[in-house]
Chain A
Amino acid sequence: QQQVKQSPQSLIVQKGGISIINCAYENTAFDYFPWYQQFPGKGPALLIAIRPDVSEKKEGRFTISFNKSAKQFSLHIMDSQPGDSATYFCAASKGGSYIPTFGRGTSLIVHP
C-alpha cells in the first residue's frame, strides 16, 4: 500500500518545548522521506528530508529520525518557537514513481 499515516493531527507546544510529529509507512520500496512546512495561505515548502541510508538528519533545530525496521520516521523541532506554528506534512516516495504519498498533516501551534 502507498499510505503514510501521520500523527498527531494537531499539536500544541509551549515556547521552548520539543515538538514531535510521527509518520509510519507500509511500502518498503519508499526511499525518500521529506517533511514540508506550510504557513496559512501559502504553499508547502521543503523543510528537511532523509533517505533510508541514515537514521538521523539534523538541520538547525529540526531533526528527522528514521527507523527503517519499524517503517517509521519522525520530525523533532527543538526549542519550538511561535514562528514554527504551521502545518507539517510528511511524505514518502520511491524511485521510478512520480507520485509522492503525503501524510494528512499536523497543525502545530507554539504558544509564547
Chain B
Amino acid sequence: SQTIHQWPATLVQPVGSPLSLECTVEGTSNPNLYWYRQAAGRGLQLLFYSVGIGQISSEVPQNLSASRPQDRQFILSSKKLLLSDSGFYLCAWNTGSADEQYFGPGTRLTVT
C-alpha cells in the first residue's frame, strides 16, 4: 500500500532563517507531487506541483521554492523565512490528472 511521510511534524523558526521540509511517498512510482499551505482556519493554497523528477510548477510567487531530487521525494525550501510563511504545510500525491489526492500528515510551521 502507498504511504506518504512528512517531516518534521512541527517546526518553530525565527524570521530570516532557512527552511527545508521533506515529503516522501512509498509504494508507487512516478507520482504527481504537490505542496499546499493552509493558514489557520483557512482553505488549501497550492504552492507547487511536480509531474516528474526535476519538473516543478509554481502556483504562487513567493520566497519559497521546491525541488524533486528523486522520483518519490519532494522538498520545500526557503532561504529566509517571513512571518507570513507560518502555516500548516501539506504534501500530497496522486497518479493522474482528475484524480483524488492523498495528503500527508502535515508540518506545522511557526515563524517567530
Residues of A within 8 A of B (CB): 31-32, 34, 36, 41-46, 49, 89, 93-100, 102-105, 107
Q: In the complex where A43-B104, A43-B105, A43-B106 touch, is A96 in contact with B97 (Cβ < 8 A)?
A: yes
Q: Kindly report which residue of chain B lies nearest to residue A48, judged by CB atoms.
A: B100
Q: Is the interface of A mostly helix, strand, loop or mixed?
A: loop
Q: Is the CB of A89 within 8 A of B97?
A: no
Quick one: CB contact mask for B70-112 with A, threshold 8 Å, 1 for yes? 0000000000000000000010100001111111111010000
Residues on B with beta carbons closer than 8 Å to the beta carbon of A107: 41
Q: In the complex where A44-B44, A104-B42, A105-B43 touch, is A93 in contact with B98 (Cβ < 8 A)?
A: yes
Q: Is the CB of A100 within 8 A of B101?
A: yes
Task: Looking at the assembled complex, report how far the CB atom of B4 sits from the nearest CB atom of chain A, in whole angstroms.
Answer: 8
Q: In the complex where A97-B97, A102-B44, A104-B43 touch, is A46 in contact with B102 (Cβ < 8 A)?
A: yes
